[in-house]
Amino acid sequence: MSQNALASSGVAVQAGRRRTFAVISHPDAGKSTMTEALALHARVIGQAGAVHGKGDRKGVVSDWMAMEQQRGISITSAALQFSYGDTVINLLDTPGHADFSEDTYRVLTAVDSAVMLLDAAKGLEPQTLKLFEVCRQRSIPVMTFINKWDRPGHDALALMDEIEQRIGLKPTPLTWPVGIAGHFQGVIDRRTGVFTRMQRSPGGADLAIEEEMSSEEAAERYGADWVTANEELELLAMTEADYDEKEFLAAKSTPVLFGAAVANLGVRQLLNVLLELAPPPSARPTVTGADRPVDSSFSGFVFKMQANMNRTHRDQVAFVRVCSGRFERGMIVTHAGTGRPFTTKYAQQIFGQGRDTIDEAYPGDVIGLVNATALGIGDTLYAGEPVQYPALPSFPPEHFAVVSTSDTSAFKRFRRGIEQLDGEGVVQVLRSEQRGDQSPVLAAVGPMQFEVATYRLETEFGVKVQLNHLPYEVAARTDAAGREILRTESNVEVMTRVRDDTLLALFPHKWRMRTVAGRHPELLLEE
């Protein structure tokens, strides 16, 4: 076998060892807790509770930003890589709040599957429905974990009906709870029939106490709960709610498991199922319509930019999903958009806020390229045969505000901070002719993005800013001719999106946009 063939074979083997997935859900469903629980079961952290620094434990995992720890919510995506047995896990935690849905969408372009958490007491919530739909559109296989089963909640069968009726995914439970929500005794593995009794460890910071029990022992110990669980299993069997690999990989069905991440109940089962059923990296589509095989020469794309993760060095990190080939630190790659060479000397493995130098990576891995100021979200990097992956779309903003500072001595820091936030995609930055460069306009999907932007400008750049909200809710792309036409219209303003010079026409509402469009049929307006 030739050296190239050997290398290609090695890449394929390494790709087969990878599982790259996102944890997604509605806010407060337990994403960061689940992220941490999975890391705990893989023995890469010693105790749970580290996400928010509970007790005397140091925060080490996904919610590393001070604002996240203060609010108790995730406002930026985070990447963690660790090994579990012979498998390399690339786990991406995502913001749950709808205002950060654009960040979540970008993360979903970089994974091969997803774990959706449902709160047992709340079921399918609005953001959950949106995320399921995004996964369906991208044909991302989704596993569902019914979380917080240690607290009062809905009936298990009712939750299965809700999943099927409201989102059209067929639920195929792999584990089934013994005991109603709030009275959790353990789970039955539907494929083996084995019952595992589960008990929270003292304090809940360590792995749960588990014990396999025979049917006879379980029946004697749990009585009515055991009888009810088995009756429900019979109903599931009658409806043929059994796991089907083809339907799962086609995003037509969702395997379901039950547990409680905060108590580490059912997490081991989820991790094992992920290793067994989640797909490894595979060939990815390119802009030409052809797929790039994983054993091709190196390629990857930037799905996230993040600055100031290291307060000491104030660096900027580009998160790159490796799509094909073997990455080696220091290799010279090509930036597909410009054709220019890019040096990868400062490459790191990410674990929340923690980082270590990495020498090699394979398809499915996420690498952090430090001080990659020449890169932007959606950029493709490659070595060898040229390739370009599809651009990542921007979400249409619905909130607009002029941002300014009264501290003239801080203006350089102000401009640097605005440029950085724009590059990260925290907000979109618009340039207004009538306001000038000293008062850029921030455009956001949700108002909480403004909070993050102003907080980071103050804490990371030492600049206090003022926001003046504008009365617009709709943005549509236009052209130079459209800008001239719209100068004659009231309650309409055309601004330039800084990152790509796109002209955006802003309207107070869709009715106003339709009225203007009706008056000027030649006008270009694309939402």
Q: DSSP of 361-374, one letter per residue?
A: E-TT-EEEEET-TT
- Any known ligand binding at 425? no
Give the distance between the most distant pair of CA atoms in the chain: 82
Q: Token pair of 150, please?
A: 């240690």
Q: H/E element holding 218? A: helix 215-238
Query: Does residue 496 contact residue 503 with C-beta atoms inside 8 Å?
Result: yes
Query: Does residue 36 contact residue 51 with C-beta atoms inside 8 Å?
Result: yes
CA proximity to 186, closest of 127, 268, 130: 268
Question: Rounded to 5 degrees, what are φ and ψ at 506?
Answer: -105, 135
Q: Token pair of 498, please?
A: 């800084």
Q: DSSP of 90-105, one letter per residue?
A: EEEE---SGGGHHHHH
- What distance in Å separates the CA atoms of residue 463 and residue 304, rounded to the nearest whole number? 24
Beta bridge partners of 285: 291
User: What size, in residues, is the chain?
Assistant: 527
Radius of gyration from C-alpha coordinates of the chain:
25
- Any known ligand binding at 192? no
- Any known ligand binding at 206? no
- Any known ligand binding at 97? yes
Contacts of 244 (CB under 8 A, 6+ apart): 172, 253
- Any known ligand binding at 93? yes
Q: What is the tally of helices (H) and strands (E) in the chain?
A: 13, 30
Query: Does residue 403 contact residue 467 with C-beta atoms inside 8 Å?
Result: yes
Mapping DSSP to helix (H, G, I), strand (E, B) and coil, where does residue 392 land? coil
Query: Does residue 303 contact residue 294 with C-beta atoms inside 8 Å?
Result: no
Helix axes 215-238, 156-167, angle to 10 degrees: 30
The residue type of 444 is A
CA proximity to 324, closest of 266, 268, 276, 389: 389
List the binding residues. Answer: 93-97
List the binding residues for GTP. Answer: 93-97
